[in-house]
Structure 1
Amino acid sequence: MKIFFVTLGLLSLGLGLAGILLPLLPATPFFLLSAYLFARSSKPLHDWMLAHRIFGPIIQNWRENKSISLYGKVSAMIAIFATFIISILLDVPSHVLLIQGVTLSLVSLFILTRNAPPKNDA
């Protein structure tokens, strides 16, 4: 079972890395899923993700506070807006735009209603 979770974790990590470059693919949920899967299957990979300069803070903020940084929120909103504009420019059928608009609106609502991480007093 551990090998199955490691494999899924690596696949999820790969999708997260692709999501950094592809506006339609969200990166953060895949990083969170990878951390979850590695926590159940590979301590070295889990520890690596938590110590990573990019993934670590995202995972810790979510795990401890269910929060998303301002940078993360702004980046997500830009990607969501760009995705919808590109779809309009590509003349995507109206029923697809409607589905996309509803979905992206709900995702935006979720993201924007998450708290910001607490400030460090250090």
Structure 2
Amino acid sequence: PGLPTTIFLILAAGCYIRSSKKLYNWLINNKLFGQYIRDYYEGKGMPLKAKISAISMIIIFCGFAVIFAIDPILIDIIVTLVGLTGILYISFRVPTKK
């Protein structure tokens, strides 16, 4: 929870490119999410709407975990730091697609 799906799609594509050309091609040409992977690999970044959605999901799910699901304060701090890292990475390191 708290992580956008795009990173898992990119990780899957990275694994498939070395192990199965068939699965890699299916993933990269998928109508639903293939464009996100191609844009990332080509350095085009994420659309602004996707960035806002990803950051919102990080805030919602990390906030939910800190408020409702986790008791020890150390775990709360770690979840918060991981969420902030994701937000900063998406905001400043991933280019916004025009």
TM range, smaller chain? 0.7 to 0.9
Matched residue, 1:112? 91
CA distance in 2, matches of 1:95, 1:104: 14
Deviation for aligned residue 1:74: 1.3
Q: With CA pairs under 8 Å and 6+ residues apart, which has the higher RCO, 1 or 2? A: 2
Aligned residues: 96
Percent identity over the alignment is: 29
Structure 2: 5+ residue runs without aligned partners?
Answer: none
Q: What root-mean-square deviation, in Å, do the aligned CA atoms of Structure 1 and Structure 2 show?
A: 1.9
Secondary structure of the 1:86 match is: helix
- Find out whether 1:101 has 2:47 as its counterpart: no
Q: TM-score, normalised by structure 2?
A: 0.81
Structure 1: 5+ residue runs without aligned partners?
Answer: 1-22
Contact 2:3-2:57 within 8 A present in 1 as well: no
1:73 pairs, out of 14, 26, 51, with 51
Q: Which has the higher strand share?
A: 2
Q: TM-score, normalised by structure 1?
A: 0.68
Deviation for aligned residue 1:59: 0.7
Q: Would you identify which runs of 4 or more consecutive aligned residues in structure 1 move more than 6 Å?
A: none
